[in-house]
Amino acid sequence: MSYTFVNADTLIRRVRRVLRSYDETGMIDPVDFPRLLRAGLHDLGLLPGYELETPLALIRGKARLPDGFQSVHSVSTQTGDQTRYYEPYPRSRHGYKLEAGWLHLPLDDQEIWLQYVGDSEPGELPAIPDNPIIQTFLEKKLVYELIHDWQFNGEELNLERKLQQAAQEYEVAYRNAQFAVKLPSPQQVATFFHRQKRRLYR
């Protein structure tokens, strides 16, 4: 099913409202939200990709791929006003290879440009699907993970009951979201029935 993605600000406000007493004491760290949202979207296979570009330092023919990397769009080097692009053929003289989080190129130490599809910039909130079931799952995941972190770090005592309730709500929301993600779109259903009808009347 295809989704439209929206800003996560309203979801964050809802989570802050649910955990208002902890938010007022400063226990909620806004830095945690992007990480937890990415983890929730990754659990459902819905992490959106963005086209990004970054320079990489090539040392001894290899460079570390950036965090949130999903796939390569292009690899190039620039010398003066000339740009050379490299292809994904590892045995070629002008080819690159991806292996275990590294980009390998048959070049000496220099700077290369990588255009790639990846997560949003580190620290930025990722876009979330405009689907109430998935947004409910993400809200319950944020609440559960924050309470779990506080309990684990010993920042707040007597959270066992809240943690248990949050875990139950999270599990129900996760099952519902998994079901919603697997549902076909109306267009896919119409195409399926159209093909079935054509097969019957051949």
pTM of the predicted structure, to 2 decimals? 0.61
Percent of the chain with pLDDT over 70: 87
Give residue 180's pLDDT band: very low, low, confident or very high (50, 70, 90). confident
How much is the pLDDT for 49?
65
Give residue 156's pLDDT band: very low, low, confident or very high (50, 70, 90). low
Main-chain dihedrals φ then ψ at residue 88, nearest 5 degrees: -80, 50
Give residue 161's pLDDT band: very low, low, confident or very high (50, 70, 90). confident
Q: Which residue has the higher pLDDT, 148 or 68?
A: 148
Query: Is residue 1 over pLDDT 60?
Result: no
Nearest in space to 8 (alpha carbons), one of 16, 196, 67:
16
Nearest in space to 4 (alpha carbons), one of 134, 116, 120:
134
